[in-house]
Amino acid sequence: MSVSIRRSRLCLAASLLALGACRSTPSQPAGPSASASAKASSSAAAASSARPNVSQDMEGWVELSAGLATRLTLRPDGKGHRFVWRVLRVALDKVAVQAAASPEGQMMAFNLQRQWLFAVNGGYFETDRKPSGLLQFGKTKLGSYRKGGGTGLLVIDGGRARLLDASRGATLGGEPELALQSGPRLVETDGKLGITSDPKPPAARSAVCLRQGGHRLDFVITWDPRNPAEGPSLLQLAEWLSKPDEDNPTGCEGALNLDGGPSAALVVPGRPELAHSARAPVPFALVGRSR
């Protein structure tokens, strides 16, 4: 690597660290257990104050456990803006993905639950905090299929993920490891864009990308380092995911938008420096465990 490139990356890393130090933690809603809320607040504070090794992440991938790795980069949008791009890479032959209720709706509380390798926010939910669409893992069904619950259906079974068109219904034919309805589909299974316009304002985003014939998932969290609540447009996210990059010779083999904005969150228990905190209660998450 040339001296100029390394110097540039270190400057970017220093800028991102300075900006990250200004993060504020999300407000905590009243709940039945003050001690649990206090622990979640403590975890959120640790995540906000921890300094991620950005320079190391920008050099390459960081292995977290068997079948789980992460990388942090800055991605330009062509308009002079740079967005944080955090990828959590999951090999489904080594890591099983399912759903779990967030303790008192606080994503950062997963930092205290070491049985999970990670937790990321899932699909949309209603005002009563129930899933807006289908959410099932094994025999456990947290939400039922609904036509307005999202245009995509992520199904994981037998260590392989598929992305289905949810507008055609949701016939699973068994008890999958995970079935999640969300949307929109950002990248179709043929590699084409799933959307052509974006009526929503820019915001922090989260998505899941299928690779290697569905045997690998990339969970992506992206936000503006100047304001973690802000981020790219949904169309910009879809365009990024549909194209090759320095890590992948092709775009995603299907990508599904998850509930972003204030819900966008990532937690790796025991690694608070990797966290991106939700700025609102999130009732359930997608979690990973070793097979």
pLDDT given for residue 200 in this prediction: 83
Q: Let me know: does 262 contact 82? Beta carbons within 8 Å.
A: no
What are 171-178's contacts with CB under 8 Å, separation 24+? 172/136, 175/136, 175/138, 175/139, 176/136, 176/137, 176/138, 177/96, 177/97, 177/98, 177/137, 177/138, 178/97, 178/98, 178/99, 178/136, 178/137, 178/154, 178/286
Q: Which pLDDT score, from 0 to 100, does residue 5 have?
A: 40
- The pLDDT value recorded for residue 23 is 38
pLDDT of residue 259: 96
The pLDDT value given to residue 59: 62
Which pLDDT belongs to residue 56?
Answer: 45
The ranges assigned to domains in the chain are: 3-290
The pair of structure tokens assigned to 138 is: 């094994």
**Cis amide bond preceding 262, omega within 30:** no
Low-confidence residues of the chain: pLDDT under 70: 1-59
